Amino acid sequence: MATAQETAEKAESDDIRTRWLLSAPALLIIFFAAIGPLFIVLVYSFLAPGNYGDVKWQFSTDAWMNVLFERDIFDDTLSFAKANLSIFTRSISLSLLTTILTLIFGFPTAYFIATRPEGRREIWLFLITIPFWTNLLIRTFAMMEVLRNEGLINSLLRFLGLTTAPIQFMYTDFAVLVGMTYVYLPLMVLPLYASMEKIDFRLVEAGYDLYASRMQVLRRIIVPLVKPGIIAGSILVFIPSLGAYVTPRVMGGGTNLMIGNLIELQFGQGRNWPLGASLSITLMAIVMVTLMFYVRNASKTGAGHG
């Protein structure tokens, strides 16, 4: 006769088996829809490029070497691939600046919404989410109309007499930065608002009662309480901006490339699929390192507040 412990262990084993069976369809979808294609990309990165695209089924590590190095066509010496390194540097720096700018503009926006009466918050959130109703390409073209030589800003500057010739905003890193900040700003506002609406604002009032200045209240009370939202918003902005393709292509004019544009170039005009695959894996590695950094930082924050 089975003991109570054996019965409990059998019930737990049956429960685990049932959960795995119920999760099997989702796990298969994840494997074939996500892990499978990534595995193909990884395999392609260790092959030789075909003459007209595609790959040759010959093992080669040249694609990985060409991510950071290039070989001289005359003396076969290796040197750093300055073009690729420049694109990597531009991508990371613009993504970081985009994250910082969206935080600067998104923090007061989220605070404003969180401090409105409950009946009005939905209206402001609705206005924040309206850009998501429009295609990314259309939103980018809308920003292009603002920055181009005959656009809103230059027309206003000439009307006010501040300049006689249009200022070249388009096809610069500045234009790409402005475009990405505009596109990804809602992704920063929403997580910040989700954290701010949970704040007990009596703590803020207590800070003022203890003669704390506005800056002290912000730095010692509000920011620590909304730090999870800052981390989440930074992840949601930095990762897609790092792999952005449409905005740098339109606002940068094809000259201010980012990693996403470089990958597309290798699979398209460059016809070097192994190099494109290795660049894709490199981009994914950068994203994973970023996520690990944020998760580690978040865990330390949770342990400190625990």
- Model pLDDT for residues 185-233, shown as the tens digit of each residue: 999 999 999 999 888 888 888 888 888 888 888 888 888 889 889 988 9
Residues 35-43 have a mean pLDDT of 89
Which domains occur in the chain, in start order? Answer: 91-305 (1.10.3720.10)
For the chain, the average pLDDT equals 87
Q: What is the DSSP string of the chain?
A: ---HHHHHHHHHHHHHHHHHHHHHHHHHHHIIIIIHHHHHHHHHTTEEEPBTBSEEEEE--HHHHHHHEEE-TTT--EEE-HHHHHHHHHHHHHHHHHHHHHHHHHHHHHHHHHTS-HHHHHHHHHHHHGGGGS-HHHHHHHHHHHHSTTSHHHHHHHHTTS-SS----TTSHHHHHHHHHHHHHHHHHHHHHHHHTT--THHHHHHHHTT--HHHHIIIIIHHHTHHHHHHHHHHHHHHHHT--HHHHHHSTTTS--HHHHHHHHHTTT--HHHHHHHHHHHHHHHHHHHHHHHHHHHHHHHHH-
- Tell me, what's the pLDDT at 303? 53
Band (240; pLDDT cuts 50, 70, 90): very high
pLDDT digits (tens, 9 = 90+) for 42-91: 999 999 998 887 888 999 999 999 998 888 777 778 888 888 999 999 99
Among the residue ranges 5-9, 46-50, 154-158, the one predicted with the least confidence is 5-9
Share of the chain above pLDDT 90, in %: 41
Tell me the whole-structure pTM to 2 decimals: 0.84
